[in-house]
A and B are shown apart, each in its own frame.
Chain A
Amino acid sequence: MVKYIGKRLLQAIPLLLIITVIVFCMIHFAPYDAIDAMTSPQMSAQTVQQIKAKYGYDKPVFVQYLLWIKGVATGNFGYSIVTHQSISSDLAARIPATMQLVIPSYLVAFLLSIVLGLTSGSHKGKWLDKLIDGLCSVGIATPPFWLAMILIFFMGYQFNLLPILGMHTIGMENSFPDYLAHYIMPFIVMVIAFLPDLTRYVRSSTIGQLSEDYVVVQRAFGASRFEILSKHVAKNVLLPIITKFGMMLPMLVTGAIIIETVFSWPGVGPYFVKAIQGMDYPVVMAILILSSALVILGNLLSDILYCATDPRIREMR
Chain B
Amino acid sequence: MEKHRRIKNMFYALKHDKVAIFSVIFLVFIILLSIFAFLIPTDPNAIDPENMLSAPSAQHWFGTDEVGRDYLIRTIYGGRVSLLVGVLAMMTSTVIGVGVGTVAGYFGGLVDNILMRIVDVLSSIPWMILITVVSILLKPGLQTIILVIGLFTWMEIARLVRAETLSVKEREFVMYSNFIGTSSMHIVIRHVIPSVLPTIIISATTSIANAIMTESSLSFLGLGIQQPMSSWGSLLQDAQGNLQNALYMALLPGILIILTVFSFNKIGDILRVLIEPKVTAGDE
Determine whether A257 belongs to the interface, using a CB cutoff of 8 Å to chain B: yes
Q: Mark B8-30, 1 if CB is under 8 A from A, else 0.
A: 00000000000100000000000
Identify which of B117, B134, B240, B283 contacts A149 (C-beta below 8 A): B240
Known pairs A15-B120, A26-B133; list 4 more (Cβ under 8 Å). Answer: A137-B262, A146-B254, A146-B258, A153-B243
- Can you show 29 pairs from A to B with CB atoms below 8 A apart? A15-B120, A26-B137, A30-B137, A137-B265, A141-B258, A141-B265, A142-B254, A143-B213, A143-B254, A143-B257, A143-B258, A145-B220, A146-B250, A146-B258, A149-B240, A149-B254, A150-B250, A153-B247, A157-B244, A207-B282, A254-B126, A254-B128, A257-B128, A272-B129, A277-B223, A279-B136, A284-B133, A295-B123, A296-B124
Contacts of A295 in B (CB 8 A): 123-126
Interface residues of A in 1-19 (CB under 8 A from B): 15, 18-19
Interface hit among A47-55, A63-71, A285-293: A285-293
Q: A145 contacts B126, CB within 8 Å?
A: no
Please tell me if A152 contacts chain B, counting CB pairs below 8 Å.
Answer: yes
Closest 7 CB pairs of A and B: A141-B261, A141-B262, A146-B254, A141-B258, A292-B125, A295-B124, A291-B126
Chain A residues positioned under 8 Å from B217 (CB to CB) = 143, 145, 258
- Which residue of A31, A137, A149 is within 8 Å of B239 (Cβ)? A149
Residues of A within 8 A of B259 (CB): 141
Please provide the chain B residues from 17 to 70 with a CB less than 8 Å away from any CB of chain A in the complex: 19
Q: Is the CB of A276 within 8 A of B257?
A: no
Chain B's nearest CB lies how many Å from the CB of A94? Answer: 15
Among residues of A, the one whose C-beta sits closest to the C-beta of B222 is: A277
Q: Mark A289-316, 1 if CB is under 8 A from B, else 0.
A: 0011001100100000000000000000
Q: Could you say which residues of chain A place their CB within 8 Å of the CB of B260?
A: 141
Residue count of chain B within 8 Å CB distance of chain A: 43
Give the B-binding residues of A (Cβ under 8 A). 15, 18-19, 22-23, 26, 29-31, 125, 134, 137-138, 140-143, 145-146, 149-150, 152-153, 157, 207, 250, 254, 257-258, 261-262, 272-273, 276-277, 279, 284, 287-288, 291-292, 295-296, 299
Among the listed A146, A291, A299, which residue makes an inter-chain contact with B125, where contact means beta carbons less than 8 Å apart?
A: A291
- Docked complex Cα distance between A18 and B126 (Å): 15
CA distance A140 to B268 in the complex (A): 14
Which of A26, A138, A143, A257 has the most chain B CB atoms closer than 10 A to its own CB? A143
B212 to chain A, nearest CB (A): 9
Question: Which B residues are CB-close (under 8 A) to A299?
Answer: 124
Measured between alpha carbons, how far is A277 from B218 in the docked complex, in Å? 12
- The answer to whether A149 touches B125 (Cβ under 8 A) is no
Most central of B125, B128, B220 by chain A CB within 10 Å? B125
What is the CA–CA distance of A19 and B124 in the complex, to the nearest angstrom? 8
A143 to B126, CA, bound (A): 18
Is B230 close to A, CB under 8 A?
no
Contact of B129 among A125, A137, A146, A288 (CB under 8 A): A288
